[in-house]
Structure formats: C-alpha cells, structure tokens
Amino acid sequence: MLDTVFELPNAEWPYSQILMRMALGLSLGLLIGLERERRRKEAGVRTFGFIGLLGTMGGALGHGFGLLAVTVTGMLALLLNWSSLRSQQGTELTTAAAMLVTAMAGVLCGQGHTLTPAAVMVSATALLAWKERLADFSMGVSESEVRSALLLAILAIVIYPALPIGPVGPWGLVEPRAAWITVILIAGIGFFNYVLWKLYGTRGAELSGFFGGLVNSNFTVIEVAARVRELGESFSGTAYRSIVLATSAMLARNGTLLLLLAPAALVGAMLPLLLMFSMAAVLVAISQLLRRSTVGVAPEMQMELPFSLGQALKYGAIFLMLHIVGALTQRQFGDAGFYFVSVVGGLLSSASAVAAAATLATQGAVSPEVAGVGAVLASFTSMAFSLSFVLRSGNGGLIRRVVLAVALIAAAGSLGLALNSQLRPWVAPFTQDLKPVHP
C-alpha cells in the first residue's frame, strides 16, 4: 500500500509549468523568510526558501509526498525549538508555525494553485510584521469589546444559518435571512471601522471624523459640534473638515452597501454618489490649502461600541419597518410612495434605508433605478439631519461653511440624478446584466 502511495509518477512534466510553480513557492518562502531574517531569527531567508521549495516539490509529486514534506518541516520546527530551549532562548513557536504554513503553501503551489497560497503567505507575513501593533491592540481591547465581537460572530455563524430561507408571512413581505444579513453587514462595517479608529486613535480630527462617519456620521457631527462650543473659533476650520469628511464617509458606506446587496441598484446611484463624494473631497482639499498654520486640537471622541445587541435590534427593526412600509407604499402609491419612505428612513438610519432599498430591488419589488434613487434621497436626508446638529453649535462661521458645503454636495447629487435620467438608455444594458444576489 505504501509503495503505491509513494510511487513516483511516470508522466513527463511540462518544464515551464513546473518551473513557474517552483518559482512561486520559492518566492513565497523568501517573502516570509525576509521578515524572519530582519528579526534575526535562526530560521531566515534561506531556510524558508528551502521549505517553500520542499513543499512545492511534494505537492507536485502527489498527496503522499506533500504530506511527507509537511511532516519533515514539522520535524525541522521541533529541532529548532529544541535547539532554542537548550540555549535558554525560549521557544520559537511563532517561527515554527510560520514554517508549517510555508510548507502547506508550497504544497498548494506544487498542485497548481496560485492566488490561494499567495494570499495565505502575504497574510502570514503581515501577522509577523505587525507583531508590535497587534500586541498593543490586543492589550488595549476591553472585555466589552471582546463580548461585542463574540456576539457579532454568534449572530453571523450560529443564528443566520438557522433562519428560514425565502419570504414568510401571508403577503410574503418579510425575508428573515435578508433582514438578518443586512444587520450583520451594517454592524460588520461599523465594527471594522471602529477597529481602524481605535488603531489610529485621535491623531487628527479629520482622520477621526472620517472613521467616525463610517460608523455613524450623525454621532460624529454631534461630537465635533460639541468641541466647537468648547474650543471656540480656533477649532472651527478643523471641525468643518471633520464634518465634511464624515459626510463623505457616509456616502462611501452607502455605496458599499448597494454594491454588496444590489449591484444593479448601485449602477443607478453611482453617478450621484460619486459626484457628491468628489464634491466633498474637493471642499476638504480647498479647506486644507486655505487653512491657517494653527491646525487646532483633535477632539477626544468617546465613541461607543459600534456593535451591541441593542444596536443590532435597532438596525433590524428599522430595516424591517422600512422594508415593509416601502413595499406597501410602492404597491399603493407607486415609486413616489417608496421615495417618501426613503426620505423618512434617512432620518432614522441612512444605512438601514439604503439596505432596505437594495433588498427590495433584489426581490423585484422596485426597479434597480428606483432603489438607487431612494438610496440617494436617504443620503440627502442624512446630510440635512446632520446639519441640524451643526446649527446648535452657535458658531456662525462654521454654520455658514457647513451649510454651503451641504448645499454644494446636494447640488452635485441632484446633478447626478438629472444626468442619470438622460443616460438611462445607455445604463439599462448594464443593469440587466447584473443579476441580483439573494442571501
């Protein structure tokens, strides 16, 4: 039996193909070896290069030889740790794990895979290179943040598969899986950007404003407006850029939701969202060029966790309400009724309103073009709602600048909607080719 498993293949190998596999395995081994060499580890560039070649040859020879290559690499890792312990330098568990990953990636290269082993090795190298950053981040993670991450995983991995597939109820207005995956998607985007915000901290009000806008633009504007009341005119320029960046982040987030949930709807909303985002970027760039030498103090934004059970229920309730009301009003009053619900939904949560519009488009309740327009209208309403918080700051200069910025961004979006109506005959073939993806 063993003779059959480890029997060498008799077929001639294509030289160029095998050479490419060997080159890829060697390159990936050298990549992670450079990182280990930089940290002055015993196993460096040459060792990891040999491991990459060993795994590639094992994968090319067959499953048995691939398993043998991984086993030999494991023995080398044991020898490395034994030698390190004898010299009283501690264990090399991370390097040993990296050696095994390199061997497995080499086996994949030998079997003809390209993107998968490359992605694995780049990720592994990043984990090694970001040792200090990841350690600092993990030490700063609170217990409540860990619970939030676990709750998000439970909702996505445990509860979602147990939900019924397809619409339920007498009128078929509710799709539990569609509602739940929207909750997970919105919360996941917020949680990811919360992690980025925590990594970079408050190095600048603009950076905090953008990351905060990805999580919750209204909350960010409230925080910035409060700092203006505390710090006065010296902070108004920085506050202006933070608010505009938060608005641009909200637009980018809404466009991402359309892309993930209903790509055909994004085609109809892409031009307005792109023009609004570009206008916001231009306004920030102009403000950066004209700002004074005194940048101001970055606001200490005490953001709450972007994901909790209460927030998940809020997103789910708003989404279901907008989804049901939007479908009913569209049936009774046509597209105008759906647009009205989108405008009102932007006051509650623009992300939920956009997700509801995208889901209705995938179900065929509204056309992709109408869903795209509804998403843009919800973004308009969200900007107007954020503006109301700026008006409470009492800073006349900031109010005038933000009002002008919101007006220009809204005008750019209106121009995009007008151009969409003219370009619809050319855009229609693209929307027909994009099949809706049901969760």
Kindly give the confidence (pLDDT) of every residue in the chain, 439 residues in length, as a single tens digit, with 9 standing for 90 and above: 445 555 555 556 777 888 899 999 999 999 999 888 888 887 888 999 999 999 999 999 888 899 999 999 999 989 888 888 777 777 778 888 999 999 999 999 999 999 889 999 998 988 888 877 777 766 666 676 777 777 777 877 887 787 777 666 555 556 677 667 666 766 665 566 566 556 655 455 566 677 767 766 776 777 677 667 766 666 677 778 888 888 888 888 888 888 888 888 887 788 888 999 999 889 988 887 876 444 444 445 555 555 556 656 666 666 666 656 656 665 666 667 777 777 777 766 677 778 778 877 777 777 788 888 888 888 888 888 788 878 877 778 888 888 999 999 989 988 988 887 776 655 555 555 554 444 4
DSSP string for residues in 62-93: -HHHHHHHHHHHHHHHHHHHHHHHHTTS---H
Q: Quick check: is 178 in a domain?
A: yes
Same domain? 115 vs 234: no
On whether residue 279 sits in a domain, the answer given is yes
Q: Does one domain contain both 39 and 95?
A: yes
Nearest C-alpha neighbor of 251 from the set 86, 32, 416: 416
Identify whether 12 is part of a domain: yes
Residue 432, token pair as written in the block: 């027909």
438 occurs within a structural domain = no
* Domain co-membership, 146 together with 106: no
Q: The tokens of 43 are what?
A: 């196993």
Structural domain span for residue 400: 140-433
Backbone torsions φ then ψ of 321, nearest 5 degrees: -60, -50
300 and 384 inside one domain: yes
Same-domain check for residues 117 and 153: no
Q: Please check whether residues 160 and 223 belong to one and the same domain.
A: yes
- pLDDT, residue 100, reads 92
Q: What is the spatial distance between Cα 264 and Cα 262, in angstroms, rounded to a whole number?
A: 5
Tell the burial category of 136 from Cβ atoms under 10 Å away from its Cβ (0-12, 13-18, 19+): exposed
CA–CA distance, 253 with 276 (Å, rounded to integer)? 13
**Same domain, yes or no, for 231 and 344?**
yes
Q: How many domains does the chain have?
A: 2
Residue 359: its pLDDT value, please?
Answer: 79
The verdict on 120 and 167 lying in the same domain is no
Task: Classify residue 62 by burial, with Cβ atoms within 10 Å: 0-12, 13-18, 19+.
Answer: middle
Distance, in Å, from the CA atom of 334 to the CA atom of 332, rounded to the nearest integer, reads 6
Q: At what angle do helices 63-86 and 93-110 cross, to 10 degrees?
A: 160
Q: Write out the H or E segment, with its range, that includes residue 282.
A: helix 263-290
Task: Please give the Cα distance from 138 to 131 (Å, whole number).
Answer: 11
Question: Which pTM value belongs to this model?
Answer: 0.52
**Helix 368-391 crosses helix 350-363 at what angle (to 10 degrees)?**
170
Residues 209, 180, single domain; the answer is yes
264-282 burial code (b ≥16 CB/10 A, e <16): bbbbbbbbbbebbbebbee
| Residue 50 shares a structural domain with residue 191 | no
Show the CA angle centred on residue 232, arms to residues 226 and 237, nearest 5°. 90
Do residues 273 and 205 both lie within one domain? yes
Q: What is the DSSP letter of 234?
A: G
In a domain, 402, yes or no: yes
Report yes or no on 135 lying in a domain: no
**Contacts of residue 30, Cβ cutoff 8 Å, sequence gap at least 6:** 45, 48, 49, 52
**How confident is the model at residue 94, as a pLDDT?**
85
CA distances from 54 to 76, 106, 107 (A): 12, 7, 8
Half-sphere exposure of 129 (CA within 13 A, CB side): 12
Does residue 185 fall inside a structural domain?
yes
**Same-domain pairing of 110 and 240:** no
CB 51 within 8 A of CB 102: yes
